[in-house]
Amino acid sequence: KRSRRGQTGKQGENSAKIRKTEVDTIKEPTIATLELTDGTLFSGYSFGANKSMAGEVVFNTGMVGYPEALTDPSYAGQILVLTFPLIGNYGVPSDDIDEIGLSKNFESSKIHIKGLVVATYTSDHSHWASQRSLGTWLREHGVPAIYGVDTRAITKVIRESGAVLGKINYPDDQIDFYNPNITNLVSEVSTKEVKVYGEGQRPRILVYDMGIKNNIIRYLVQVNKVCCIVVPFEYPLEENPEKIEYEGLFLSNGPGDPAMCTTTIASVNWAISRPKEEIKPIFGICLGNQILSLASGAKTFKMKYGNRGANQPAIDLRTGRCYITPQNHGYAVDQKALKADWKPLFLNANDFTNEGIIHTTKPFFSAQFHPEAAGGPMDTAFLF
């Protein structure tokens, strides 16, 4: 067998053998189906784990970034449809850990989606950092995936009918539908213990982990040079049982309905209600934007189909400038319900939903999108 260009000897031969084995596997794939609650069936072929799974079916419009998307805890409970027609051609990178103990290439320690649906899949990957195919990686994590499906048709169903439940079925493994929105998904992805990153750096930021992405912590610690004390989402801030000293609060991204995070909301409400001399700055991202809104007395609502992708336009209402932002959320803030002293900070240019809020006199603000990118443009990294 020939070696890859740039590879010689046994390494190149082994790489070629691995790729040939994966291609041969795909030639006789297992048939699988995506079934929606309205009875619609989409037939395809398996390239992940041959395991039936159910969840909420959502779509992502990004062209690249599937390793980051699949490991984003905000996708917990969801079957992800990728609208870009060809997936898998750059493979999956290594599991290397960086100098602060986080995965270099992924947004968490595991894949969080319930299943993956793509139009065309290739196991013949080519990228200097690639270590294995997407299919191999999915099988390692026990996540089902199907290809050969009309993803445009699925996306149209979701756009027209709204959020829909579905399940990936295999002939010998039939399961029932599952609605993740009635579950407190944050409790499944939040840390169970206090963790510290950037020990010795100042200021010290208390970070509520509701499903935080690695690149958010990395940006705070390595770019902002702050110390992050990451706590579980139910950490009672008023009691502060760990006696944590901190100079600011950060509210992370996360999955599901923000209204289920009652303890977090109560803690943030306590923080924003402190006397002037005890006020500490607060910054929130994604679910953090919704939590801050609920804590201030506003409301949130479930969107028709959400915004997920790397190309959502958000208008800065202070300047009128429009930024292209990465997003992943199915709930939004009802900005008409914002209380006095709060105002919208960003607005989505497509559907005019809220993309951030800010207090008019106190140092509290948040963004619905992801300024840390991973993956996506970093045009709004200045928010850090």
User: Catalytic amino acids?
Assistant: 286, 370, 372
Q: Quick one: three-class SS letters along 309-364? A: EEEEEEEECCCCCEEEEEEEEEEEEEHHHCCCCEEEEEEECCCCCEEEEEECCCCE
**CA 59 – CA 80 distance, rounded (Å):** 6
**Cis preceding linkage at 375, omega within 30:** yes
Contact assessment for residue 288 and residue 329, using Cβ atoms and an 8 Å cutoff: no
Residue given tokens 């948040």 in the structure block: 366
First to last CA, the chain: 50
Q: Tell me the three state secondary structure of residue 177.
A: coil
Given strand 227-232, what is the order of strands in its sheet? 195-197, 227-232, 204-209, 248-251, 282-285, 364-367, 354-359, 342-348, 299-316, 322-334
**Cis preceding linkage at 203, omega within 30:** yes
